Chains A and B, each alone.
Chain A
Amino acid sequence: MPLPPGTALSPRDGHQAIELPDFTGLHLASLAGDVSNPVLAAVVTSLLARAGSRSNAVAFYDDSPFVTY
Chain B
Amino acid sequence: MFRFIGGRLFSSVIVLWVLVTLSFFLMRFAPGSPFDQDRKLPPAVEANKWLRFNMGMEITADVDGTIGDLQEIVPKVTMLKKGDTLGTLTPEGGAAQPILMPHDGEVVSLNVQAGEQVKKGDTLAVIPKPLWSQYIDAIGGYAKLDFGVTITSDGQRTVSEELRRALPISLQLGGYSLLFALLLGVPAGLISGWRQNSPLDHTVMAFSMFGVSVPTMVSGPILVSIFAIALGWLPPGGWEQITPEWSALQHRILPVITLGLAYVPVVARLTRGGMLEVVRSDWMRTARAKGLSEATIIRRHALKGALLPTVSWLGPGMAGIVTGSVVVESVYRIPGLAENFVKPALNRDYPMVIGVVVVYAAILVLLNLVVDLLYTFLDPRVSIDG
Question: A and B: real partners?
Answer: no
Interface positions of B (Cβ within 8 A of A): none
Interface positions of A (Cβ within 8 A of B): none
